[in-house]
Amino acid sequence: MRVPLWSSAILLLPMTLLQSGCSVFSAEPLWELAKAGGALVQGAVTEVGPSRARDTMVYTHGPIQRLCVEYNRSSQAADLLPALVAELQAQHIESRVYEAGGRYDQCDVWLRYTASIQWAVPPTGSDYRPYLDRATLVLNGADGRVLATSSFVLDDGLMSMGRWASTRDKLAPAVKALIGPPPPKAG
């Protein structure tokens, strides 16, 4: 009596898995595949278009090349200030951060901000994490006159994944709207 090849493979497979040392099958490639799939999901979730500028008002003022940022101690978003300064730098604006209530004659233009956060569990996580929910940016002249305002408000639908985008990605459209178009290149 001849045993078919497929049935002998079925009988040998459990025995090879029980052996110590090298085996034909390993869980490691499956684990690596699962990790790669999780990284792709996380990347797709954070790349969902997080924001656009809202409630933007820009009044007549000259080009802005440098400004002072007034530090807001009551802002709960820990990564907001570094993200704001980085985005200003990307827009070719020099900035310095000062404590609130400082001397206002140090700068011609001041940027003041408010922000709020919410807490939720990311799709690929198990612990609650904070995320930037809304922010309002206001440019003031040294005399206190409002030069421009712009806001970011999270579009919070049931399947909204933009909340997991970086704070800088959320703030970028509001900063660009606040500053206005870049100055023309000298040529």
We report the CATH number of the domain holding residue 96 as 3.30.160
Whether 6 is covered by a domain: the verdict is no
Whether 172 is covered by a domain: the verdict is yes
Whether 140 is covered by a domain: the verdict is yes
What's the domain range around 58? 49-179
Q: How many domains does the chain have?
A: 1
pLDDT 10s digits, 25-74:
556 766 666 665 655 555 444 444 556 777 778 777 788 889 999 999 88
- At 135 the three-state DSSP class reads strand
Whether 11 is covered by a domain: the verdict is no
98 vs 167: CA distance, rounded Å = 21
Whether 16 is covered by a domain: the verdict is no
Whether 84 is covered by a domain: the verdict is yes
Portion of the chain with pLDDT greater than 70, in percent = 65
Whether 73 is covered by a domain: the verdict is yes
pLDDT exceeds 60 at position 20: no
